[in-house]
A and B are shown apart, each in its own frame.
Chain A
């Protein structure tokens, strides 16, 4: 069983209490940004911003929508980052969260490149930099508490529970008000499924969510890694065989040559 969070963007009022709660629980400083003509701030996730609310103003079926979407680590069921990390600093925990252990990290940033949701960030201006990302408040979860952002949400747009229960809940909400929601739970199947699930009144690609297939991003890599032992055996056998044949050929040539030489010598002596 794995813990999950259901984000109901219809219920979200864009107060960004979750953003603030995340900062204060994780002890993160404020970002210095400039006004971009939107309430949306800061503009990107960063090493000091693990979650943020994205403001989307759009038209869908002739109706104006102002949709607030929470961005943070999706805590994939088959996390690309954890597959990528050569020292295993990123791990998918049994409880669901994908957690980071900076005691192992060497700063190669492969996790950042491998993440299909563009989540992990890096402390670019530190001489001793680490990877930073939302860790699902793993410390709070372990103590039986909700993640800071969920706790702070005043409209229950964020609720935590078992993933299966939340999927059932999401399906029920869609069934009960098909006019309010589109029939798509983002995260149910994307990239093999994620622990953060989203409901929306408009199609997710219009909200900037990446359109991902239901195949985990790790599939081809696993296949390639699985091919390593047979490749080792094949190349070893092939090279030994070629070496043996080449040497044998040379030896035979040498013998032929010698015989030929001996033959001519004998003829001469006769």
Chain B
């Protein structure tokens, strides 16, 4: 315990500084308006925040529902040790998404409006409803870790509360909750694709397709396990745990299949739309498309199909990094680079936009650090699903 405590403050210090800087910048953003802190304009109303914090954030939180499905629905007990970390990072991911909306929305104090003014035809309404519901589901799914910890504490008020009863209730509804979570995630991931369906005129045909929602969902399912592996290997290094090799190589074994389906669907869609030629004739758009596909799909697909690669820790790690980088690349292509601007405008993210996003991520990393230190995140033996 002690040496861990001593090992860490420099990292925590840096994270804390990033958070404080972002808080100062947020002050500027809220006092002087979005124009002062961003390079957003009428020509580019959605920029770095929407793409990185929301589009990428939600996709990278996909580890939650994929792991929940693998462990609790398909009954693969082998991966149980990854379940809670995955739920925790998904939960924090969603909190980040909501926080980033508070930053990005023009009038975040009216966010609650969508509870009373419904436009059920809007994909954004679907996105908002899913975000709220899934955040609640994830909080409930992670709550046993908190209750287990509180149960043992000897503080005045906390001692009085029967945490074991709450624990029992959550355990009782765990499976329905997980199934609900998977449904909501399916809708949420795909709805982010539906959001872009309203832009047939401005989204480049290399990315615009009616099956965009399906592509968003499939790529999220592929990146889920990759993100979990990525996070676990990093946290292992920091906290000194060691993830069993067969758990790791077993989990990434699924990824090539999903990436394969994704790639086929993407190519097939371009063939059906008779736009396959754009892969070579669309100038820098073609390059962006190939970049995204090579980095995030083709290379990891090949690497993770090789059994020897799956058994090398660092190879698995870097393959997962590629999948994660690929999906980030994809979301940037589809929601920023491939989306035409109004004529007469330019956009490069303001440094404050990036700094505020970095601050939000630093927030989450601090919380993860605290959770790993003080909550039973990795020990999940007590959880049983016999209902």
Chain A residues with a Cβ under 8 A of chain B: 43-47, 80, 83-89, 104-110, 112-114, 116, 118, 121-131, 191, 208, 210, 212-213, 215, 217-218, 220-225, 227-228, 231-232, 235-236, 239-240, 242-243, 246-247, 249-250
Contacts and interface: CB of A to CB of B under 8 A. Distances in A.
Contact of B339 (A113, A128, A224): A113
A135 B200 CA distance: 24
B121 A222 contact: yes
B290 to A, nearest CB: 25
A240 to B, nearest CB: 6
B33 A126 contact: yes
B106 A106 contact: yes
A258 to B, nearest CB: 16
A141 B74 CA distance: 61
Contacts of B277: none
A63 B197 CA distance: 41
12 contacts: A87-B113, A88-B117, A108-B104, A108-B106, A109-B45, A110-B122, A110-B195, A110-B198, A122-B42, A127-B30, A220-B198, A235-B183
B105 A108 contact: yes
Given A87-B119, A106-B110, A242 B73 contact: yes
A45 B42 CA distance: 9
A225 B123 CA distance: 7
Given A110-B195, A240-B179, A225 B126 contact: yes
B319 interface: no
A130 to B, nearest CB: 7
Given A87-B118, A128-B107, 20 more contacts: A84-B198, A87-B125, A104-B113, A106-B113, A110-B124, A113-B45, A113-B46, A114-B198, A124-B41, A208-B343, A220-B198, A220-B200, A221-B121, A221-B198, A224-B123, A224-B193, A242-B73, A243-B72, A243-B179, A246-B75
Given A43-B344, A86-B125, A235 B197 contact: no
Contact of B114 (A46, A86, A236): A86
B35 interface: yes
A85 B187 contact: no
A26 B303 CA distance: 62
B287 to A, nearest CB: 24
A141 B125 CA distance: 31
Contacts of A240: 179
A210 B167 CA distance: 59
